[in-house]
């Protein structure tokens, strides 16, 4: 029934307004679709439909978009893109402002968020990751696949919506309902991948997003490796929603975002390279390379921190992390194989006598 209403302009099969009105939104539209709303107004002369269509003509004049409003998903997608490329720190104020507004909309149950499955899941994930207290109740109906199948998105087999549900389900890994959601969405996406027709560049980008989401879940990935992978694929800057028609966000800025992200990545890499040289000198100055019993784990210790603490301003944190890891490895190997019982007892005695208050600032 929902699908028949959604394509009303093409079928005109529903003659009873009572079957249609339950899909009408507060702005007067049906599914935020100008075409569907226009068809309904032509048949039933509803004032709400007229109000929505009139507002569109005032805003867009001669031509209207295939879906409106679509602002929430567009803004959230841009934030997701910036984060996936590792350049969100350059837009902290804008992101905070946008998410604060989104949170207010979430709390009052704004239809643009709550009635669009992909937008709802994306908003939930981003708000949760930024520390907002959001309930997963709006996603509970989709804990099982049957809850999705009964929706318009389910009838249309909207892969983008399932992908967003899959990502959102990883926000509460211990919540049983979202565990079930994670399970069926994963199976759904795997099934889609096994029989995915590549009919356009946009489809290829979406397929790459699905592959990455399945291969590198958020709880088992490193940010900097994700950023590099997204830069190489370029899929994260493509925002296409397939509804009645393929709706592609105006992305004239995509090349600019990629240039900014590539420049930022290379800049950070150059800083990391200089830090490694500095750490190499520290190893030599302290003659740690002469300890034959100790494993040489400088690169491992450094990159284990740099994979997440990658920002240029976190240089001191990366250096401290790496030095701490190297010294921990040396001490561990000293007690495992390198030191005699007397030497180990002497080291323990020295540590116990160490007066932290005597250490200069």
Q: Count Cβ atoms within 10 A of the Cβ of residue 177 and give its class: 0-12 exposed, 13-18 middle, 19 or more buried.
A: middle
Residue with tokens 């409106």: 68
Query: Is 76 part of any domain?
Result: yes
| CATH number where 225 lies | 1.50.10.130
User: What's the token pair of residue 322?
Assistant: 């790496």
Residue 245 has pLDDT above 60, yes or no: no
Length of the chain: 361
Whether 240 and 279 share a structural domain: no
Query: Is 261 part of any domain?
Result: no
d(CA 164, CA 119): 8
Mean pLDDT across the chain, nearest whole number?
87
Whether 201 and 108 share a structural domain: yes
User: What's the token pair of residue 349?
Assistant: 């005695």
Contact 20, 4 (CB under 8 A): no
Looking at the 3D structure of the chain, how many domains does it have?
A: 3
Strand partners, 138: none
Domain finish residue from 217, 251, 285: 251
Long-range interactions of 221-227: CB distance < 8 A, separation 24+: 222/307, 222/308, 223/86, 223/307, 223/308, 223/310, 224/86, 224/306, 224/307, 224/308, 224/310, 225/307, 226/84, 227/84, 227/85, 227/86, 227/261, 227/265, 227/310
Contact 147, 141 (CB under 8 A): yes
Give pLDDT, residue 240. 54
Give pLDDT, residue 243. 57
Whether 88 and 170 share a structural domain: yes
Query: Is 147 part of any domain?
Result: yes
Query: Is 350 part of any domain?
Result: yes
Whether 133 and 242 share a structural domain: yes
Whether 85 and 172 share a structural domain: yes
Query: Is 66 part of any domain?
Result: no
Whether 220 and 332 share a structural domain: no
- What is the average pLDDT across 193-199? 80
pLDDT tens-digit map of 61-104: 878 888 888 889 889 999 999 999 999 999 999 999 999 999 99
Residue 252 has pLDDT above 50, yes or no: no
Whether 11 and 85 share a structural domain: no
Report the greatest alpha carbon distance in the chain: 95
Domain finish residue from 38, 60, 82: 60
* Residue among 60, 70, 61, 2 nearest 32 (CA): 70
Query: Is 359 part of any domain?
Result: no
Whether 48 and 120 share a structural domain: no
pLDDT tens-digit map of 294-353: 899 999 999 999 998 999 999 999 999 999 999 999 999 989 888 888 888 888 898 888
Whether 243 and 341 share a structural domain: no
Query: Is 131 part of any domain?
Result: yes
pLDDT tens-digit map of 266-291: 999 999 999 999 999 999 999 999 98
> In whole angstroms, what separates CA 126 from the centre of its chain?
7
Q: Would you say the C-alpha torsion 277, 328, 360, 342 has a positive or negative sign?
A: negative
% pLDDT > 70, the chain: 92
d(CA 265, CA 232): 12
| CATH number where 308 lies | 1.10.600.10
Whether 292 and 219 share a structural domain: no
- What is the average pLDDT across 55-64? 87
- 144 sits in which H/E element: none
Query: Is 65 part of any domain?
Result: no
* Residue among 26, 110, 42, 31 nearest 76 (CA): 110
Query: DSSP states of 290-359 as a string?
Result: G-TTS---HHHHHHHHHTT--SGGGHHHHHHHHHHHHHHHHHHHIIIII--HHHHHHHHHHHHH--GGGS
Whether 54 and 75 share a structural domain: no
Q: Which one is predicted more confidently, 79 or 256? A: 79
- 23 sits in which H/E element: none
- Give me the domain span that covers residue 144: 71-251
Quickly count: other Cβ atoms within 10 Å of residue 255's Cβ.
11
Domain finish residue from 37, 60, 83: 60
Whether 48 and 78 share a structural domain: no
> In whole angstroms, what separates CA 322 from the centre of its chain?
28
Long-range interactions of 181-184: CB distance < 8 A, separation 24+: 181/139, 181/142, 181/143, 181/144, 184/144, 184/145, 184/148
């Amino acid at each position: 029934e929902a699908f028949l209403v959604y394509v009303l302009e093409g079928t005109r099969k529903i003659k009873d307004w009572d079957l249609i009105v339950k899909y009408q939104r507060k702005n007067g539209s049906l599914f935020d679709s100008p075409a569907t709303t226009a068809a309904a107004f032509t048949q039933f002369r509803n004032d709400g439909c007229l109000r929505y269509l009139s507002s569109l003509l005032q805003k867009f004049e001669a031509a209207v978009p295939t879906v409106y409003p679509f602002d929430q998903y567009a803004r959230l997608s841009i934030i997701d893109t910036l984060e996936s490329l590792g350049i969100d720190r350059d837009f902290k104020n804008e992101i905070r402002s946008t998410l604060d507004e989104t949170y207010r909309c979430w709390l009052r149950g704004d239809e643009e968020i709550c009635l669009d499955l992909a937008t709802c899941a994306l908003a939930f994930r981003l708000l949760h990751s930024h520390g907002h207290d959001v309930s997963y109740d709006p996603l509970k109906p989709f804990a099982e696949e049957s809850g999705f199948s009964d929706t318009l998105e389910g009838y249309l087999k909207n892969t983008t919506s399932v992908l967003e549900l899959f990502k959102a389900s990883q926000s509460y890994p211990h919540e049983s309902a979202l565990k079930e959601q994670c399970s069926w969405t994963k199976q759904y996406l795997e099934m889609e991948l096994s029989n995915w027709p590549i009919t356009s560049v946009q489809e290829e980008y979406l397929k790459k997003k699905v592959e990455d989401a399945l291969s590198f879940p958020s709880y088992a990935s490193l940010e900097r490796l994700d950023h590099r992978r997204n830069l190489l694929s370029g899929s994260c800057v493509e925002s296409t929603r397939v509804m009645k028609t393929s709706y592609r966000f105006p992305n004239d800025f995509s090349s600019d975002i990629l240039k900014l992200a590539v420049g930022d990545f290379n800049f950070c890499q150059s800083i990391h390279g200089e830090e490694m040289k500095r750490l190499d000198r520290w190893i030599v100055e302290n003659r740690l390379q002469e300890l034959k019993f100790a494993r040489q784990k400088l690169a491992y210790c450094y990159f284990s921190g740099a994979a997440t603490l990658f920002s240029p301003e976190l240089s001191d944190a990366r250096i401290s992390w790496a030095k701490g890891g190297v010294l921990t490895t040396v001490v561990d190997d000293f007690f495992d194989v390198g030191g005699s019982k007397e030497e180990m007892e002497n080291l323990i005695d020295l540590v116990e006598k160490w007066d932290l208050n005597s250490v200069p600032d």
